[in-house]
């Protein structure tokens, strides 16, 4: 070692020592701001995959990766972001991809900040990925959550839903108003205790697609739920809880599907077993019926592989999917318009509307699932697969791409019935992925998500997750690792590399939501919220009238249990997050940039 080298080495070590002392003595009064200046995935990184942190500084300085309470193992130079954030400030990017040794670390930027601790190891996101699916167990209606599965979040069962009233809007001769049906099980939708078919549709399907896309990996995911060990993969066991409820939402008289099972007004903030408001099924609608058809068609092909464990289920799912499809063909334009319904029928229903009045995308999705399951080209007859050139990232009211994903990953099985539009569909999906990827590396947080302020609306975190899912689909079609890496960037966004410095998943990360708008988390007397739940995230809309600290798009977030427009949780947000986190775990070896 030359003298010069050893001198700078010693100075370097001393300055890091002083900085570490300063940082730790600041802990009690200044920790937050030190750590707020560095934004990274608060859980960690795969050894040979990209590793990026973002530093809120205009300075051109160095950064160090240090073993917790140990030596510096990596020194790098910060690089200014090409574009500014939504406020107008550039950030500084710390790229430590080339450091790959497993361990527990912090990042230090002299005079600027120190990061939360993070880990480098294989399968580093396994626990959070598991938790994102286990979250559905915690959302179960009609069953007590036992301590051996739920730990400190054990609770009594709520909403048995064995006596559910037919709302006057849903009355038929065979099922008159105020008679009752039984419609137990299912997942609560969100912070509220209602069960909505439209939102259940996309959520259930996204989890089923996770299984279909990564069957070998998903068989290894053990969730410790009551059905575990029954020879059915746990993700499917969990889906079955909701599927069995969805099946009860179809009117056997005509095949139409009730839009939702709901109270007239939202329950109070109380535990599920305390809630005693009457429950109704309300008006049937085209969106609910087609979403039901799509999910049941998908279920049919998946559960057909479990004839011993689930005898007859695949057939009845397909049968019910067909009945729903026929109803929708006869009733192609029945919107759920809650205001209009309330003018005609009583009691008025004021819970979540999930109203939609364009069903082009629902027809495409249901037809695609039915075609893929049956290979019968009749379903696609009369369906224009390319009604326009828009490629909206999926959400509860935009499901066209769910149909495209399904068609594109099953092309090998179509034979002579392959739809002529397939090459164009593939091109559009890859073009979409290219448009997402383009310029992501120029942004302040190095993510697809912070390319556009339009991403920051109600449930913005699900936009980040659903962009990730679209990128994984593109990766599966093309094998191009750039899509996979950008999907990982959006996962890093969710887990801390973002405009607020929150890891938006309850219980996973150092700075996480403690007060989600989620009735059990607020009412159970347990300090920690129910784990594994993705909150909605930044949304300057403030539809809940709770003032967020900043209306800058990616900062418009508050950890307040009244803030349902920014801090609620929901099954349709957790599902793409579960898809993304588990897909990245399954594909971690494909993220390699270092050998
Ligand atoms: O996620 C839904 C969002 O897209 C809508 O803009 C919003 C208002 O209609 O409703 C959101 O969904 C909520 C639903 O209506 C009721 N359960 C909680 C859902 C998440 O906030």
Residue nearest to atom 13 of ligand 1 (CA): 352
Instruction: Say which range, 25-29, 128-132, 434-438, has the weakest mean pLDDT.
Output: 25-29
Paired tokens of 371? 């075609």
Structural domains for the chain: 7-120 (2.60.40.10), 447-595 (no CATH)
Q: What is the pLDDT of residue 328?
A: 98
- Taking each helix axis from N to C end, the angle separating 422-437 and 481-494, rounded to the nearest 10 degrees, works out to 50
Ligand 1 pocket (Cβ < 6 Å) reads 189-190, 192, 352-354, 458-459, 564, 568, 570
Please report where in the chains the tokens 């795969």 appear, as a residue: 46
pTM (two decimals) = 0.95
Count of alpha carbons within 13 Å of 129, Cβ hemisphere only? 24
pLDDT in tens, 4-15: 334 444 434 444
* pLDDT at residue 26 is higher than 90: no
Sign of the dihedral through C-alpha 192, 195, 200, 204: positive
Which of 188, 190, 573 to mutate to test ligand 1, by most ligand atoms within 8 A of the CB atom? 190
CA of 285 to the centre of ligand 1 (A): 18
- Taking each helix axis from N to C end, the angle separating 400-409 and 286-303, rounded to the nearest 10 degrees, works out to 20
With cut-offs at 50, 70 and 90, classify the pLDDT of residue 407: very high
Q: 46 to each of 97, 133, 210, 572, how far by Cα in Å? A: 9, 21, 21, 27
Cα separation, 187 vs 359, whole angstroms: 25
Cα separation, 463 vs 467, whole angstroms: 6
CA of 38 to the centre of ligand 1 (A): 32
Residue nearest to atom 4 of ligand 1 (CA): 458
Please report where in the chains the tokens 């490629």 appear, as a residue: 391
User: Is there a catalytic annotation at residue 270?
Assistant: no
pLDDT in tens, 489-515: 999 999 999 999 999 999 999 999 999
pLDDT in tens, 184-224: 999 999 999 999 999 999 999 999 999 999 999 999 999 99
Per-residue pLDDT, averaged over 153-163, amounts to: 98
3-state class (DSSP) for residue 104: strand
Q: What is the pLDDT of residue 3?
A: 39
Sign of the dihedral through C-alpha 459, 207, 581, 440: negative
Task: Please give, one letter per residue, the 3-state secondary structure of 528-550.
Answer: CCCCCCEECCCCCCCCCCCCCCC
CA of 190 to the centre of ligand 1 (A): 9
Q: What is the pLDDT of residue 22?
A: 47
Per-residue pLDDT, averaged over 53-76, amounts to: 95
Which of 562, 570, 573, 575 to mutate to test ligand 1, by most ligand atoms within 8 A of the CB atom? 570
Of the candidates 493, 389, 397, 483, the one whose C-alpha atom is nearest the C-alpha of residue 436 is 483
pLDDT in tens, 303-328: 999 999 999 999 999 999 999 999 99
DSSP string for residues in 137-157:
HHTBSSS-B-HHHHGGG-B--
User: Is there a catalytic annotation at residue 518?
Assistant: no
Cα separation, 401 vs 391, whole angstroms: 7
Residue nearest to atom 18 of ligand 1 (CA): 190
Residue nearest to atom 15 of ligand 1 (CA): 352
CB atoms near residue 402 (< 10 Å): 27
DSSP string for residues in 349-406:
--S--------HHHHHHHHHHHHHHH--GGGGTT--S-SSS--PPPBTTB-HHHHHHH
């Amino acid at each position: 070692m030359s003298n010069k080298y050893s001198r700078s080495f010693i100075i370097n070590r001393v300055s890091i020592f002083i900085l570490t002392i300063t940082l730790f003595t600041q802990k009690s009064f200044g920790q937050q701001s030190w750590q707020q200046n560095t934004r990274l995935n608060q859980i960690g990184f795969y050894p040979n995959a990209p590793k990026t942190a973002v530093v809120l500084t205009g300075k051109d300085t160095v950064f160090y990766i240090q073993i917790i309470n140990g030596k510096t193992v990596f020194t790098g130079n910060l690089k200014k972001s090409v574009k500014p954030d939504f406020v107008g400030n550039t950030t500084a990017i710390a790229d430590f991809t080339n450091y790959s040794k497993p361990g527990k670390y912090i990042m230090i930027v002299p005079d600027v900040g120190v990061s939360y601790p993070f880990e480098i190891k294989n399968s580093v996101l396994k626990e959070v990925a598991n938790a994102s699916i286990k979250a559905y167990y915690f959302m179960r209606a009609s069953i007590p959550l036992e301590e051996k599965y739920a730990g400190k979040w054990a609770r009594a069962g709520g909403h048995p839903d064995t006596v559910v009233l037919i709302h006057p809007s849903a009355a038929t001769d065979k099922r008159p108003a105020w008679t009752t049906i039984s419609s137990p099980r299912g997942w609560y939708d969100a912070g509220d205790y209602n069960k909505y078919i439209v939102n259940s549709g996309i959520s259930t399907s996204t989890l089923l697609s996770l299984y279909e896309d990564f069957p070998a990996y998903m068989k290894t995911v053990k969730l410790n739920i009551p059905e575990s060990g029954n020879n059915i993969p746990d993700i499917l066991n969990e889906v079955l809880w909701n599927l069995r409820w969805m099946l009860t939402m179809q009117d056997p008289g005509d095949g139409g599907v009730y839009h939702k099972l709901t109270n007239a007004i939202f329950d109070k903030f109380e535990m599920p077993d305390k809630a005693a408001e009457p429950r109704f099924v309300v008006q049937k609608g085209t969106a609910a019926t087609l979403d039901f058809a799509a999910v049941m068609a998908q279920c049919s092909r998946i559960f057909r592989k479990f004839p011993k464990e689930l005898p007859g289920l695949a057939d009845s799912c397909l049968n019910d999917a067909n009945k729903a499809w026929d109803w929708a063909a006869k009733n192609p334009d029945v919107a759920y318009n809650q205001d209009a319904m309330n003018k005609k029928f009583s009691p008025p229903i004021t819970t979540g509307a999930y109203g939609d009045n364009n069903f082009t995308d629902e027809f495409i999705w249901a037809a695609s699932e039915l075609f893929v399951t049956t290979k019968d080209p009749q379903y696609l007859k009369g369906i224009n697969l390319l009604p326009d050139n828009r490629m909206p990232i999926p959400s509860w009211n935009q499901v066209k791409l769910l149909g495209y994903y399904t068609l594109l990953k099953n092309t090998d099985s179509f034979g002579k019935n392959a739809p002529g539009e397939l090459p164009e569909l593939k091109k559009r999906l890859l073009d979409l992925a290219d448009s997402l990827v383009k310029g992501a590396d120029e942004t302040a947080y190095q993510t697809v998500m912070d390319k556009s302020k339009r991403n920051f609306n109600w449930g913005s975190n699900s936009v980040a997750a659903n962009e990730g899912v679209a990128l994984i689909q593109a990766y599966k079609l093309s094998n191009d690792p750039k899509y996979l890496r950008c999907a990982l960037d959006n996962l890093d966004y969710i887990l801390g590399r973002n405009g607020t410095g929150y890891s938006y998943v309850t219980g996973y990360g150092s700075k996480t939501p403690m007060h989600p708008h989620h009735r059990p988390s607020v009412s159970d007397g347990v300090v920690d919220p129910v784990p594994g739940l993705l909150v909605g995230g930044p949304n300057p809309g403030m539809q809940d009238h709770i003032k967020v600290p900043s209306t800058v798009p990616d900062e418009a977030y508050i950890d307040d249990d009244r803030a349902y427009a920014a801090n609620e949780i929901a099954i349709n947000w957790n599902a793409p997050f579960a898809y993304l986190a588990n897909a990245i775990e399954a594909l971690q070896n494909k993220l390699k940039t270092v050998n």
